[in-house]
A and B are shown apart, each in its own frame.
Chain A
Amino acid sequence: MLSSYLSSMDTKSSQKTRRSFKKPFIFAKNCVYRPMRQISNMERNQKLPVDRPTYFTLNAPPSLVPAKKYSDISGLPAPYMDPHTKLRFANAEEYASMQHMPSDIINRYLSVRGYTSAV
């Protein structure tokens, strides 16, 4: 009994490799990993003055220039869009190649461009 308890203690402490230059230190339980979203919420709840710059107020503003349209496949300027797949294309050859494209690749092209269907 005792020996198994001791060995389990051993595993606990050996999870962090012991190094001579370190002092025993453990982060507060909920501070070890906090994703950015939580940090953002924390700062929002602090009710900082409006003009106080924080990490989250420095985000770039949304673009005011209309996004240029490029072919999903070749990257060339694309005047056309296939109404069926919603892929953009620049010329007839690309359109032909799109007809044999598996749907997972089509969806990936769309998701890379950030297209989400309205449905």
Chain B
Amino acid sequence: MGSPKRVLVIDNGSYECRVGWNNTKEPALRFRNVLTKPRKDRKKEAIPDTTDGAPTPVAAEVPAEIQVGNDITNIEAVRAHLKSPFERNIITNWNHQEQIFDYIFTKMGFEGEQSIANPIVLTEALANPNFCRQNMSELLFECYGIPAVSYGIDALYSWEHYQNRRKKVSDALIISLGYSTTHVIPVLNGKLQLQHVRRLNVGGYHIITYLLCLMQMKYPVHLNAISISRMEKLVHEHCHIAVDYREELLKWGQMDYYEEHIMKIQLPYNPVTATNALLTAEQKLEKRRELAMRLLEIKNRREGEKLLEDEQQLFVYNKLRQLYEQDKLQKFELALAQQQIGNLDELDSLISTISNRIKRIKERPLSSPKPSKQQEKIDKMPKAPEGVSQADWLAELQSKREQLLQRKQTRQQQRQEQGKRHTHAAQERMRIISTLARSEKRRKANGEEEDDGFGMNDNDWDVYKRINRYNDDSDSDADNEQLLEFEKILSHYDVNFDDGNAVQTQSAAENYQLHFGVEDIRVPEILFQPSMIGSPEAGLAELIAFVLKLFTAQEQQRMVEHVYLTGGCAQFRGLKERLAREFLEMRPFQSKFSIYESDDHTLSAWLGACVQASQPNFGQTLTTRKDYQEHGSEYFREHRASNLFYPTPKD
């Protein structure tokens, strides 16, 4: 073999996959661990061949290209069709995993080779079920023909990487905060205590989805603009974990704090121009005036044409008349027949009507635009009746308006009350309905129309209004009209009049803003309080306490002296401080603990795997093709960063 082959290191995470050679500083390939199969292009469907009529297979059989990871140009466009091989943090869909391996090996330059000739380091879930590992080994050895593989746990690789630069530590409590799960991993004497590991099924995915839900419910109008990609960005860049959740929450409840700290996110917004709704009143007026001018022009032109026509006609008729006066009767008769005129009287009347028409038009000056209707309306605005001062009149109107408003409000309240069962209003309504029904029955039993006098009084009919659940009847319509009328008058005379529903001076763009305030701490808090998303599981702090209690007091102390945070969600600001606070609460008085963070939360697992792959004893950690053939597909070699091997019992 000679020099050891370089090793391909794959950190196969449920959020992101990182691939690279073990002798490089950073992964050559990072991509979101998803794939999508775009729908077939319509054009590529079978086109009947003109020569022999059979469909040409060339055009038809081009399968839609499957896009993986970074090949997906617009992830938001295919969000609904995204596929992941993962369910939580274990791989369940092997076809998808195969596609992803194809992508990885093609990108890493294996195209053209017979098989993958390099050993592979691959991360897997903690306590990965044997069934999954079995499938993975089969895929790697049978399909890709790899020589050897080493399976490890990402959190432990990350821990290895941390120790690599510092002195070795034998005991630790690793807290790995991933995309779909959060693990609390006790390590004693350098060994993973697998039976005491606990997994909280809450992670970055839940945080992002929770934020998405909250935002969509807060802004139902912008449902489509609130996309997962945008929410991911918000979570990555702006969320943090509150050190004291309750205290920070109460701060958000205060208006001043809210005003000062609220983050406003502008959604993409294209101002709609030239629609009537957005023009100012002045612009509208201007537009209307222009339109009026144009109409007037058309009218004048038409009148001018008509005038010209009439004048010509009059000229002809006058000529005819002259013929008659000059006693050229024969010619006159002929001309009359030509013009389809009966006799002399008719001609005379025609001449007089036309000349009248011409006179009328000429008398009228070219009409100028009338004063706009707006003006008229204002002129028509009712004035205070005589003998009453304007102020008194306005005050009276104001009080009337108040009354109307109050009536409206009671109606609305009544409606709401009736909507609920067991309220007094609802019961009253049922009582009236039942009495009405009973009286009807009695009449029928009698067999004769016994008039109980219902309807004699107009107020009798109100009973139907009272049992109408949605009393949007003519009454309230009339009220509304009157209310509008009052408000118009009041606002006309009183500049300071505030009709209560004044349109807030808000630009349209501001309507496209999301307010991102309390969500900042509320969303990541689900790690500590999964009950917020309806999960019955214990929160992170409670879980840590639970795991620690599985050990003796000395072991606990040894572990809490090296609490180690890793994983993508460990990037939240404030996590370390919050955990310090929680540890202070749960540990005995004046005991010591210390929390360390990984150097690079997202990359440290990959880097740790590289460290191990470069060590001289790396060969011992490899499960080779020979092992695979001898011990079966579920077998793997244990090492410092791996799961423990428990063979599946044979029946």
Listed in ascending order, the chain A residues whose CB lies under 8 Å from chain B are 3-4, 7, 10-11, 14-17, 19-23, 25, 27, 31-36, 39, 42-43, 46-48, 51-55, 57-65, 67-68, 70, 73-77, 84, 90, 99, 102, 105, 108-109, 111-115
Contact = CB atoms under 8 A, between A and B. Distances in A.
A62 B197 contact: no
Given A14-B63, A51-B195, A58-B127, A77 B250 contact: yes
Given A27-B135, A67-B531, A14 B518 contact: no
B197 to A, nearest CB: 5
A16 B112 CA distance: 17
Nearest to A72: B217
A22 B131 contact: no
Contacts, number: 184
Contact of A27 (B90, B92, B138): B138
Interface residues of B, number: 79
Interface stretch (B5-13, B334-342, B536-544): B536-544
B93, B113, B249, most chain A CB atoms within 10 A: B249
A53 B649 contact: no
B110 interface: yes
A19 B649 CA distance: 37
B416 interface: yes
A114 B533 CA distance: 6
Chain A, interface SS category? loop
Q: Which 8 A-B pairs have the closest CB atoms?
A: A114-B534, A67-B531, A25-B143, A63-B538, A75-B522, A7-B57, A60-B537, A53-B195
B115 interface: yes
Interface stretch (B198-206, B583-591, B604-612): B198-206
A48 B252 CA distance: 51
Interface string B638-651: 00000010101100
Contacts of A35: 87, 92
B519 A75 contact: yes
A54 B129 contact: yes
Contact of A68 (B139, B210, B529): B529
B116 A21 contact: yes
Contact of A15 (B63, B94, B201): B63
A14 B61 contact: yes
B253 interface: yes
A21 B144 contact: yes
B142 A25 contact: yes
Given A7-B57, A36-B87, A60-B537, A53 B114 contact: no
B518 A75 contact: yes
B530 A63 contact: yes
7 contacts: A15-B63, A22-B144, A46-B648, A53-B197, A55-B129, A76-B249, A90-B253
A111 B420 CA distance: 22
Interface string B88-106: 1010111100100010011
Interface string B534-561: 1111110011001000000000000000
